[in-house]
């Protein structure tokens, strides 16, 4: 089993109210050094067997079709994170 990570962020030109809220929250907590905060999504997809090029092509396709909204979001990364996820790890997640 392998684990593929997909990262999705709002397009830069899209206003990110959540990011703005986090920015002011950080300032309230005393973290002043951050000029901008943007929040996106991170997915971990566990696949049977190895993360072959074909699997990665499927993941990219799924990322465009389901994991992101191409009108307002960009898929910024698709990468193999762990080639050998032990069954227990995936099992715990499935329960």
56 sits near a second copy (criterion: CB under 8 A): no
H or E stretch covering 27 = helix 17-28
50 sits near a second copy (criterion: CB under 8 A): no
Total residues in contact with a second copy, by rule CB under 8 A: 44
Q: Which of residues 11-40 bind a second copy (CB under 8 A)?
A: 12-13, 15-16, 19, 22, 25-26, 29, 31, 33-40
Q: Which two tokens stand for residue 44?
A: 């971990």
Q: Which of residues 68-87 bind a second copy (CB under 8 A)?
A: none
3-state DSSP assignment of residue 82: strand
Handedness of CA 53, 55, 56, 62 (dihedral sign): positive
Distance CA 76, CA 37 (A): 16
Contact residues for a second copy, defined by CB under 8 A: 1, 7-9, 12-13, 15-16, 19, 22, 25-26, 29, 31, 33-49, 55, 58, 61-62, 65-67, 89-90, 92-95
């Amino acid at each position: 089993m392998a684990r593929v990570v997909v990262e999705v962020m709002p397009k830069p030109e899209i206003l990110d109210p959540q990011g703005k809220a986090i920015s002011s929250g950080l300032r309230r907590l005393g973290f002043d050094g951050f000029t901008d905060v943007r929040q996106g999504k991170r997915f971990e997809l566990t696949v049977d067997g190895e993360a072959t090029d074909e699997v990665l092509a499927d993941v990219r396709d799924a990322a465009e079709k389901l994991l992101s909204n191409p009108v307002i979001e960009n898929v910024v990364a698709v990468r193999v994170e762990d080639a050998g996820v032990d069954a227990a790890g995936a099992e715990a997640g499935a329960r």
